[in-house]
Amino acid sequence: MAGNTRRRGTQPLDDGPSTDDIERFSGVTTSCPSCGTEIRDDVDLCWKCGHAIGDPADERSPVWIVVAIALVLGAMLFWVTRF
């Protein structure tokens, strides 16, 4: 079932999921953290505001980056204190 659509010329304008679709997929939807729009939980972008929806685990820095930064800062500190 398609969402609520209007037509402008020959191209339909999608207003997002219909109320029936939201109810039917209520177990697999979540709210956009930016605008609060009901979205499927497997999407990467909110259809309404374009906010990037990501796994919080994806936002964490990999351990090797943290270790590399610590090593560089340690080397710089060692070099500065030598002179």
Q: How many domains does the chain have?
A: 1
- Rg value, the chain, Cα: 23
pLDDT value at residue 6: 55
User: Which residue range forms the structural domain that includes residue 60?
Assistant: 5-82
pLDDT value at residue 47: 87
Mean pLDDT, 10 residues at a time, over the chain (83 residues)?
A: 55 74 74 87 86 68 86 93 79
pLDDT value at residue 60: 63
SS3 assignment, position 40:
strand
Query: Taking CA 11 as the corner, what is the angle to CA 34 and CA 4, rounded to the nearest 5 degrees?
Result: 50
pLDDT value at residue 58: 54
pLDDT value at residue 71: 95
pTM of the model: 0.37
